[in-house]
Amino acid sequence: MTAKPYIYAQRSKRELEEIAEVILTRFRNRRSGLIVDVEAISEDCGLTILPRRGGLENHVHAYCARDPHFIVIPEADCSYSPVYRGGVAEELCHIILEFELFENKDLPPGARGHELNVGEHRKIETDAKFLSAAILFPKGDFTAQFNIHTKQLTPQHPERAKLLREVLKCLERDFDAYFLRAAHRLVDVGLISEGDLNEHVFNKLVM
Ligand SMILES: [Zn+2]
């Protein structure tokens, strides 16, 4: 008998914001100022982070092992905390969503990662990216910091692309999480438009 395929029910943005609220409330003692300690939350959820050598960063930035108690991260990413924390947060969110940890506290005993087909993987990936940004950049604080920095920096940087880049640098520092994730969060929260993001942030990146 073949195993039943795992079907992931994709969540709306509103549901994902609500899940982020549940997680942020449950682990409120894991926040220090603006920074959400996703490493500690992972530990509280019974997960272990394994840095791995051997050029893993050339292929992926992080992944959940088949045994869902482990998050594997390239050692090369571990030395820059905004990148490292982003990877940890995203993988943590894969586990949260896949095992509905916003309803249950821990992984079920003997939990095994589901075999995801391409379609299911794409759905959960989109949701994990959204949810991890919602956890790393909690809506209220993030909006407040965006407004403060924008107000303060606009006189020096009247040019939109330059202004957004400077604001993103501040947000990366505030939340200790990578500016490109912050950039997506600006769109998710409705602080800038998708067009604004593409025109003034992505098109201006020197790769
Ligand atoms: Zn992912």
Neighbours of ion ligand 1 (CB under 5 A): 90, 125, 128
Say what percent of the chain tops pLDDT 70: 98
The pLDDT value recorded for residue 59 is: 80
Mean pLDDT, the chain, rounded, equals 92
Q: For residues 144 and 155, what is the distance between their CA atoms, to the nearest angstrom? A: 18
Q: For residues 188 and 137, what is the distance between their CA atoms, to the nearest angstrom? A: 11
Dist. CA 63 → ligand 1 center (Å)? 7
Q: State how far Cα 42 lies from the chain centre.
A: 13
Does the predicted model carry a pTM greater than 0.85?
yes
Dist. CA 160 → ligand 1 center (Å)? 30
Q: For residues 187 and 157, what is the distance between their CA atoms, to the nearest angstrom? A: 21
Dist. CA 192 → ligand 1 center (Å)? 24
Q: For residue 201, what are the CA distances in angstroms to 86, 97, 115?
A: 19, 29, 35
Selected from 3.10.310, 1.10.10, 1.10.357, 1.10.287, the CATH number assigned to the domain covering 13-136 reads: 1.10.10
Q: For residue 203, what are the CA distances in angstroms to 101, 161, 163, 207?
A: 37, 9, 14, 10
- In this prediction, residue 2 has a pLDDT band, given cuts at 50, 70 and 90, of low
The pLDDT value recorded for residue 58 is: 82
Residue closest to 174 by CA, chosen among 131, 202, 136: 136
pLDDT for 25-80, tens place per residue?
999 999 999 999 999 999 999 999 999 888 878 887 788 888 889 999 999 889 99
Give the Cβ contact number of residue 50 at 10 Å: 11
User: Of 36-45, 52-61, 119-128, 129-138, which gets the smallest average pLDDT?
Assistant: 52-61
Dist. CA 128 → ligand 1 center (Å)? 6
Dist. CA 126 → ligand 1 center (Å)? 8
